[in-house]
Amino acid sequence: MLRYIGKRLLMMVITLWVIVTLTFILMVTIPGSPFNSERGTNEAVQANLEAHYNLDKPYIVQYVLYLKSIVTFDFGPSIKQPSQTVNEMLGRGFPISFELGIITIIVAVLSGVTLGVFAALKHNQIIDYVAMGFAVLGISIPNFVLATLLIQQLAVNIEWFPVARWLSPAHMILPVTALATGPMAIIARLTRSTMLEVLTQDYIKMARAKGLAPWKIICKHALRNALMPVVTIMGTLLAGILTGTFVIEKIFAVPGMGKYFVESINQRDYPVIMGTTVFYSAFLIVMLFLVDIAYGILDPRIKLHKKGGRE
Amino acid sequence: MKKGLLYLMGVLVFLVLAACTANESTGTENKNGEGEKAGDEKILQLNNGEEPTSFDPAIGFDNVSWNALNNLMEGLTRLDEDHTPQPAVAEEWDVSEDGTTYTFYLREDANWSNGDPVVAEDFIFAWERLLNPKTGSSAGFLGYFIKGGEAFNSGEGSTDDLGITAVNEKTLEVELENPTGFFLHVLTNPAFFPVNHQVAADNSEWHAEAESFVGNGPFQLESWEHDNEMMFTKNDAYWDADSVNLDGVHWAMVNDTNTEYQMFERGELDSAEIPAELSDQLIDGDNVQVVDQGGLEFFRFNVTEEPFQNKNIRKAFALAVDQENITEYVVKNKVKPAYGYISPGFTNPSGEDFRDVNGDLVSFDPEEAKQLLEKGMEEEGYDELPTVTLSYNTSDLNKEVAEAIQGMFSENIGVDVELENTEWNVFLEDQKALNHQLSRSSFLYDYADPVNFLESFITGSYMNRTGWSNEQYDQLIANAKSEADEGKRWEYMYEAEKLLAEEVPLFPVRYYNQVEVLQEGVTKILRHPVGYLDLKYADKQ
């Protein structure tokens, strides 16, 4: 196990390095500069600015400086908002994006699994059709459309929830709903189909024959196996939710990280581009790693390491 | 068995509902709390769109910074309701006979929010910073009116050569390069706001947080949660605090026009922009405020590329565009079509509007356009016009305008142009490098004088980006920038605009405006044509 983890950690560092290098190459190849403006500045001013941010140095030196900033986790000040450092921006935005993401995942998994199990148990009955119809809608409606719809109906027309911003738990309901509906629908459909499959297995019949309590059969025997595919797609869903927050954060004016990620590219704010990209990638890589570990714990048949099992 | 399952589901559903209800009630309490607070005091609720770039006057050279800065600080002069400069920190001033030396007498009761008096040294400190090439200010060019300003900003002079001196603590003398009739206007720009030099000496990042911010304007910065919200409260130490009606201003940062409007509908904001899709529905409403903004949307020809080296072909394209059609059906929101280059609102010394004097110079005329195109093609020996590509920077509105113009070219002069769009930063690089043939552009004024726009098109100017060069034009602009006699100066500018219309290195499409819808009882939110917002006199019933 330890050996496996060690190997994975090494792979994670290499992946991150590749991402950083690609980002750097993309950054220097896109035309434009952070100091581009309609009006233009004096050459002397321009030269001073470039020197201040090391943009006058050869690319290879800039590259090494970026690597250094990543190792020390100090990305320096933003070019566009010079009185703020990238670390401050990440420190401010990440907890909020994380909060939004985590709540979304919890809501999506809980409601998705519940809906899926329910639909499977009431297979081909009205509840099944309703649940699955709901799921199809959830998958087909893009989250930004749903977001606008939710605001108009639930915040403007009937004033149940606040329109936007991120101040109290009530402010979280609409963005979380908009963001969680898609993943929830996917999870619900997946749970339903695997649940249907598992319920016909011999060991379930066996459990029933032994007279176990129904909830025990569902929760302990059926659900545990039915959840495996759900865990498998968690990695992809996670990436989807993280990128989904960019749009949702903008619509609901949630002061998270998405805005830095998108705007820094438009503004060619190099330190912020690097900071957000590295941070997002590192986060995603670690999460995928955790999902893999969870997979091993949930299913004892899966061996994370080659040795250790019977050869 | 089924009963057990149902029970389990029931519990789950109940838990979810319980969680939701709990959240809801917290939300309601919170909202009531806010409501009470707003009831007692006059707090204006506005949206800044996004985080201000900087509250350092030399760095925050954009609207998102000015919205706030113009209300937290104040320069020597301040624009009034008619957009003319009035005494602010300067109580009065003398101008030398040749118009190049201004002596400003600062108010005795002009104080900083930390209690320090506003002194001449504060202005000198701020302006030297603005012009210092090490500061990296993009507003530096505004200081070129000051003697020695351009040299210092180019890294060639020193602060000793700058024409700004403190005669005594409350008297500031400014020497200019040339007599500049609109200098008092220029001074209203936030780039010329003073900086408390003692505070800045202790902490160069004084402007970064609410706790350390020291201003001298009608409001003070109570709190600032970056990228989220700001709270201003009335500054009782302000010299004209009696004129300030509001108790405070709350700023949200919501960067989505639709959300902004929905918050307005819900009463969470007192002012909102009108989303493009709702323009037809809302623009004629009672609480809509429409104010001109100095500026022009136009298209640049690249005169170094075929076929636009030919004046008649350029003119043919210019006259084929029906500006009114674009403003009426594409841009909407009551913007005005532009038949000249200088937007309305600039008045000469005898009170006439620049636009009225020069009249319509580039108006839609498909018949003449056709003839000019034929003539131009003959001159160049074209049987067929080379392919023309119209470029614009990516945005929904720019796309609609470009498509409308494409249709007009096709219909009126029988030319099919191709459209091309790129992201703003890439677009600008290409435009500067003259890689476009015909490209979309816009100009917004920095100060209220036509020369601000006109000087863009002198030979070699960064703003030129057409490849066009004309000695006579360069001379007219040089004269317009140095002439002491205001009447003559305006004559030069009239002539310069006519020359532009004659040579057409660019053609005008429309002027800009600022449109907002206000809650009932909200009054006197001043939006100046030069782009800054003034809440000094704003009120909320």
In-domain check, residue B283: no
User: Which among A37, A81, A259 has CB closest to B138?
Assistant: A37
Q: Select the more confidently predicted residue: A100 or B34.
A: A100
Give pLDDT, residue A201.
Answer: 87
Per-residue model confidence as pLDDT tens digits over B447-465: 999 999 999 999 989 899 9
Give pLDDT, residue B19.
Answer: 41
Contact list, A82 vs chain B (CB under 8 Å) = 54, 59
Cα–Cα distance measured from residue A112 to residue A192, given in angstroms and rounded to the nearest whole number:
9
ipTM of the complex: 0.88
Per-residue model confidence as pLDDT tens digits over A235-284: 888 877 877 788 999 999 999 988 898 899 999 999 999 999 998 898 88
User: Do both B187 and B112 map to the same domain?
Assistant: yes
Reply yes or no on whether the pLDDT at B164 is more than 90.
yes
The answer to whether residue B6 neighbours chain A at the CB level (below 8 Å) is: no
| Burial bucket for residue B10 (CB in 10 Å: 0-12, 13-18, 19+) | exposed
Task: Report which listed range, A119-123, B281-285, B491-495, is most confident.
Answer: B491-495
Give pLDDT, residue A305.
Answer: 56
The answer to whether residue B20 neighbours chain A at the CB level (below 8 Å) is: yes
User: Do both B343 and B421 map to the same domain?
Assistant: yes
Identify the CATH class of A92-268: mainly alpha
Per-residue model confidence as pLDDT tens digits over A17-53: 999 999 999 998 988 889 888 777 888 888 999 999 9
Contact list, B1 vs chain A (CB under 8 Å) = 214
Cα–Cα distance measured from residue B223 to residue B167, given in angstroms and rounded to the nearest whole number:
36
Give pLDDT, residue A221.
Answer: 82
The answer for B 226-265 residues in CB contact with A (under 8 A) is 226-229, 252-256, 258-259, 262-263, 265
Per-residue model confidence as pLDDT tens digits over B358-388: 999 999 999 999 999 999 999 999 999 999 9
User: Do both B303 and B238 map to the same domain?
Assistant: no
**Quick one: pLDDT band at residue B17, thresholds 50, 70, 90?**
very low
Q: How far is B39 from chain A (nearest CA, A)?
A: 19
Q: Compute the mean pLDDT over every residue in chain B, rounded to the nearest whole number.
A: 90
In-domain check, residue B280: no
Q: Which of B45, B129, B138 to mutate to test the interface with A (most CBs of A within 10 A)?
A: B138
User: Do both B306 and B223 map to the same domain?
Assistant: no
Handedness of CA B54, B58, B62, B63 (dihedral sign): positive
Give pLDDT, residue B39.
Answer: 55
Reply yes or no on whether the pLDDT at B411 is more than 50.
yes
CB pairs under 8 A between A and B: 174
CATH number for the domain harbouring residue B158? 3.90.76.10
Q: What total number of domains does chain B contain?
A: 2
Give pLDDT, residue A307.
Answer: 47
* Contacts for B87-90: CB closer than 8 Å, 24+ residues apart: B89/B118, B89/B194, B89/B216, B90/B172
User: Which among A160, A215, A250 has CB closest to B8?
Assistant: A215
In-domain check, residue B214: yes
Give the DSSP per-residue string, B389-429: EEEEES-HHHHHHHHHHHHHHHHHH----EEEEE-HHHHHH
**Quick one: pLDDT band at residue A219, thresholds 50, 70, 90?**
confident
In-domain check, residue B237: yes
Q: Compute the mean pLDDT over every residue in chain A, rounded to the nearest whole number.
A: 88
The verdict on a CB contact (< 8 Å) between B226 and A118 is no
Spans of all domains in chain A: 92-268
Q: How far is A218 from chain B (nearest CA, A)?
A: 8
The answer to whether residue A60 neighbours chain B at the CB level (below 8 Å) is: no
Structural contact between residues B504 and B311, judged by C-beta atoms closer than 8 angstroms: yes
Domain that holds residue B194: 43-257+519-540
**Which chain B residue is nearest to residue A170, measuring alpha carbons?**
B27
Reply yes or no on whether the pLDDT at B26 is more than 70.
no
Per-residue model confidence as pLDDT tens digits over B179-199: 988 999 999 999 999 999 999
Give pLDDT, residue B349.
Answer: 87
Q: How far is A169 from chain B (nearest CA, A)?
A: 5
Structural contact between residues B443 and B508, judged by C-beta atoms closer than 8 angstroms: no
Cα–Cα distance measured from residue A226 to residue A223, given in angstroms and rounded to the nearest whole number:
5
**Quick one: pLDDT band at residue B295, thresholds 50, 70, 90?**
very high
The verdict on a CB contact (< 8 Å) between B253 and A255 is yes
Calculate mean pLDDT across residues B523-535: 92
In-domain check, residue B169: yes
Give pLDDT, residue B5.
Answer: 46
Contact list, B153 vs chain A (CB under 8 Å) = 42, 44-45
User: Do both B153 and B245 map to the same domain?
Assistant: yes
**Quick one: pLDDT band at residue B32, thresholds 50, 70, 90?**
very low
User: Do both B48 and B143 map to the same domain?
Assistant: yes
Reply yes or no on whether the pLDDT at A231 is more than 90.
no
Strand pairing report for B438-444 and B389-393: parallel
User: Do both B535 and B503 map to the same domain?
Assistant: no
**Quick one: pLDDT band at residue B33, thresholds 50, 70, 90?**
very low
Reply yes or no on whether the pLDDT at B283 is more than 80.
yes
User: Do both B249 and B340 map to the same domain?
Assistant: no
Question: What percent of chain A has a predicted confidence (pLDDT) above 70?
Answer: 97
The answer to whether residue A151 neighbours chain B at the CB level (below 8 Å) is: yes
Contact list, B12 vs chain A (CB under 8 Å) = 110, 114
**Which chain A residue is nearest to residue B154, measuring alpha carbons?**
A44
3-state secondary structure of B44: strand
Reply yes or no on whether the pLDDT at B14 is more than 50.
no
The answer for B 105-134 residues in CB contact with A (under 8 A) is 133-134
Calculate mean pLDDT across residues A174-187: 93
Give pLDDT, residue A304.
Answer: 58
Question: What percent of chain B has a predicted confidence (pLDDT) above 90?
Answer: 84
The answer to whether residue A55 neighbours chain B at the CB level (below 8 Å) is: no
- Chain centre to alpha carbon of residue B41: 31
